[in-house]
Amino acid sequence: MKKKIIGLFILLIILFPKSTYALTGSLTITCNPSSAKAGEKVTCTLNGSSDEAVYSIEVPFSVTNATVTFAKSDLWAMEDDYSNNKIQQVAKTDKAVIGNFLIGTFTVTINENATSDAVLSISNAFFDDTDYQHNNVENTSVTIGVEIPKGLKNLEVTGATLAPQFTRSNTAYTATLGKDTTKFSINSSATVDSDSITITNTDTGAQLSSTDIPFATEEGKDSMSITISVGSGDRKVDYTLLVRKEAEPNTVGHATLSSLVVGDKTVTNFSDEITVNPSNIDSYQVRATLSDSTNYKFSNSGLPSSCSVSAGVLTCNLKGENSFPIAISSNAAGGESKTYILTIKKASSGNGGSSGNNSGSSTTPDTGRTVNNNPQTGNATMGIVAIILVTSLFASLYLYKRNMQNFE
């Protein structure tokens, strides 16, 4: 009887085995935006779905043409550690997840040198149910379109200073050669190796090599224009390069004044700081001229509003005391510059003029005649003349009286 019972039990096990039902799970990845340029970041969301409660997950992933970081959602308990490109998480205590749930987010950074799309792939992932049974989920992946960069990756001109500094977004540059440089070379490479580079003399249309290019300008020009073309078709980018030599320093003339008249005073000695005391400061004119008006000019900076500049002449119509700079600059790069500080003050007692002319007299601009500007000297002279006249008068009277006496 006992053997019959055991046999029946075995038969029941064979006929009615323990349920082997497994949960059904899936993974999805969505990225926003779906495309990006090299160096840009894209956020991708990883979601899961299961028809049974999930206790833990393991999600291996890989990425091409990009790097990733991952941040789990608050459904999961383990610390973030994805250095092995594998997401391993356990649901928080007593909170096994079921249905649709957020696993976390990837931050995908496209490689700077990426020349093809970035792909984020997941394979051999599984969900563990509450009985700790592995349940594999289907592989999945997402493609992030990479906008392949065009144009040059770098640009240098040997023996020259390039301005502005090279960037991918700028296509116009100026290269300044040393004054003794007769040849130069262009060092450049395309962002995508398969894109060709051609260098052309824009003025003549002649194609140039990239090395030992002679600096040759067309008649009437002081610069050479070059076009650098990268790629073809819709990938073609043209760069313009203006090549010129550094300017010769201006050695003609000097930044000096040839004359300066303030009211009735003419300044002849030009120091850095000039003080002038015209006789009348109620209304007067300042007139300055340049020694070399061809190569130099007056600056308007700091001048009173009543001043004007024309053909190397500075004219100001002023009232009262004033102080302002007279600045002179070169018309060409490398020329010298000079700034005089002119101060006009009311003449004080005993003050005979200016720091530039202390002779006590001045030449009037309209007539050129010399005018005595020292009232003390004038009064002394008048006194001497009066004494001489009175003495002469008494002498004449004395002689007249004596002659009359002799006549009698």
Q: Please report the domains of the chain, with CATH numbers, ordered by start residue.
A: 24-147 (2.60.40.680), 152-245 (2.60.40), 257-372 (2.60.40)
Mean pLDDT across the stretch 326-338?
Answer: 78
Beta strand pairing call for 338-344 and 322-330: antiparallel
- Give the pLDDT band (50/70/90) at residue 92: confident
Most confident range (mean pLDDT) of 196-205, 250-259, 260-269 is: 196-205
The pLDDT of residue 215 is above 50: yes
* Cα–Cα separations (whole angstroms), residue 2 to 11, 31, 246, 344: 14, 66, 113, 135
pLDDT at 3: 56
Buried b (16+ CB within 10 A) or exposed e, 357-393: beeeebeeeeeeeeeebeeeeeeeeeeeeeeeeeeee
Backbone phi, psi, residue 234, to 5°: -75, 0
- Could you tell me the two tokens for 319? 């009232």
Mean pLDDT across the stretch 89-117?
Answer: 88
Backbone phi, psi, residue 284, to 5°: -155, 170
Contacts of 25 (CB under 8 A, 6+ apart): 48, 49, 50, 51, 54, 127, 135, 137
pLDDT at 386: 59
pLDDT at 23: 86
- Give the pLDDT band (50/70/90) at residue 103: very high
- Could you tell me the two tokens for 238? 């043209």
Report how far residue 80's alpha carbon sits from residue 342's, in angstroms, rounded to the nearest whole number: 74
- Is the model more confident about 297 or about 354? 297
pLDDT at 350: 53
pLDDT at 26: 95
Please tell me the least confidently modeled range out of 58-67, 72-81, 218-227, 391-400.
391-400
- Give the pLDDT band (50/70/90) at residue 56: very high
The pLDDT of residue 2 is above 60: no
The pLDDT of residue 330 is above 90: no
On whether the CB atoms of residues 335 and 368 are closer than 8 A, the answer is no
Please tell me the least confidently modeled range out of 34-38, 111-115, 139-143, 195-199.
111-115
- Is the model more confident about 341 or about 395? 341
pLDDT at 376: 47
Percent of the chain whose pLDDT exceeds 90: 46
Q: What is the mean pLDDT of the chain?
A: 81
The pLDDT of residue 353 is above 50: no
pLDDT at 390: 56
Contacts of 227 (CB under 8 A, 6+ apart): 199, 200, 202, 238, 239, 240, 241
The pLDDT of residue 363 is above 90: no
Most confident range (mean pLDDT) of 3-12, 33-42, 76-85, 339-348 is: 33-42
- Could you tell me the two tokens for 292? 């070399």
pLDDT at 221: 81
Q: In terms of Cα–Cα distance, which of 155, 47, 173, 32 is closest to 101?
A: 47
pLDDT at 11: 55
Mean pLDDT across the stretch 21-43?
Answer: 90
Please tell me the least confidently modeled range out of 77-86, 221-230, 283-292.
77-86
Mean pLDDT across the stretch 229-239?
Answer: 93
Mean pLDDT across the stretch 190-196?
Answer: 89
- Is the model more confident about 388 or about 51? 51
Mean pLDDT across the stretch 179-195?
Answer: 91
Please tell me the least confidently modeled range out of 11-20, 58-67, 241-250, 382-391.
11-20
pLDDT at 354: 46
The pLDDT of residue 378 is above 50: no
At residue 286, what is the residue type? V
pLDDT at 18: 46
Mean pLDDT across the stretch 333-361?
Answer: 66
- Is the model more confident about 180 or about 390? 180
pLDDT at 361: 39
Report how far residue 280's alpha carbon sits from residue 321's, in angstroms, rounded to the nearest whole number: 10
- Is the model more confident about 390 or about 132? 132
* Cα–Cα separations (whole angstroms), residue 77 to 14, 57, 103, 195, 262: 41, 11, 11, 50, 89
Report how far residue 104's alpha carbon sits from residue 24's, in angstroms, rounded to the nearest whole number: 20
